[in-house]
Amino acid sequence: MADLSSEFIGIKSPNPFWLASAPPTDKAYNVVRAFEAGWGGVVWKTLGENPHVVNVNGPRYGAVYSADRRLIGLNNIELISDRSLEVNLTEIKQVKRDWPDRAMIVSLMVPCEEKNWKDILKRVNDTGADGIELNFGCPHGMSERGMGASVGQVPEYIEMVTRWCKESTDMAVIVKLTPNISDIRYPARAALAGGADAVSLINTVSSIVSVNLDTMSPEPSIDGKGSHGGYCGPAVKPIALNMVAEIARDKETANLPISGIGGITTWRDAAEFMALGAGNVQVCTAAMTYGFKVVQEMISGLEHWMDEQGHANLDSIIGKATPNVTDWQYLNLNYITKASINQDSCIQCGRCHVVCEDTSHQAITQELNGKRHYEVIDKECVGCNLCVSVCPVENCISMEQMTSGVDPRTNLPINNEYANWTTHPNNPTASR
């Protein structure tokens, strides 16, 4: 059986699944239940200095649902821990003592002054935790006070605070990055320059997810008013994957360890993050949606897939997809595919025809001689894949690779403006 044991920046855990800093890691009771369910580690909910913050006592979450009411996104306006620092540190020390084989990371956020960081680190050093995570990502509430994302959006601040922390602790230092920035590579480079042992990403995306049209207030609504919050859940996974890949393939940060966060709900999501360069993953919304035991499916699913694929351990999958991420200009324009409809699977709903006819290339015919029937017009199909994306029947429509320049089903030339990639103007090495 595949070995899922993880050693991330020297921190050992029985598997790569950690709970992210969030409501599920707010107290010892929750964390112990998580460890009993099988989680490999936790990042304790973000701590600050006293006096502690005060959270709203009304709704803290706004939700985005799919058509079948599956939760695909949460908007969160909760702040960092509103429990006292003393109580949190006592519980952290106790839980780490009782569960020595699990990773214990403490998330921190204090005002951007050296004394504040060094003072809180003196206290965290005594807990026996394995590391700290600097929360430079929170986009709401704390950012308006000069913390969280307001630090994470300034690379110079990231480097400065990271250096302060590295000078004040022997624990591993992970820097949590905000996605609310134009180029994630710059804050990652700054974290590395400051001495960070790793980065974690992404934190939540600044957002307003809905408006109550009866009260004309953004949701969640507090006494008729709303605020932007942090968006998380399955809907942010594509954003997170891209940013993880950007750091993993950047020459300056290629060797910087990454803890992947953002919409991880299944073992497959986790495997995708690790394939793009993440050394482990952190999960929040999935636990808040399904409970802590969701990790058991993640563990068994990843083990089964790794066994099937012949992967003995996590090192055999981490970063394996990174070399295949490239800039658009390097894509092979001689690679040609055409859509093909499996008539035995087709339920004749017509969605492929409608979207192709209305919004794409008019490449799918519709015959109505007593029964609907749909076929692809090869000469019009550009291989855009939209029909596959909207088809409600899995694997009913597939994309078939063509021999370069020739359709093997007709032996006719394929209309391709540039027949040879070596002469294509988007190829930076093209001969002219």
Catalytic annotation, residues? 138
DSSP character at residue 340: E
Give dist(CA 393, CA 57) in Å, integer. Answer: 45
Give dist(CA 53, CA 182) in Å, integer. Answer: 30
Instruction: Answer whether 41's CB lies under 8 Å from 131's CB.
Output: no
DSSP, collapsed to helix, strand or coil, labels residue 166 as: helix
Give dist(CA 162, CA 413) in Å, integer. Answer: 58
DSSP character at residue 253: T
For 162-166, the CB contacts below 8 A with 24+ separation are 162/134, 162/190, 162/191, 162/194, 162/195, 162/196, 163/194, 163/195, 164/114, 164/117, 164/118, 165/117, 165/121, 165/132, 165/134, 166/194, 166/195, 166/196
DSSP character at residue 55: -
Angstrom distances, CA of residue 233 to CA of 63, 236, 261, 355, 377:
10, 6, 10, 28, 39
Peptide bond into 257 cis (omega under 30): no
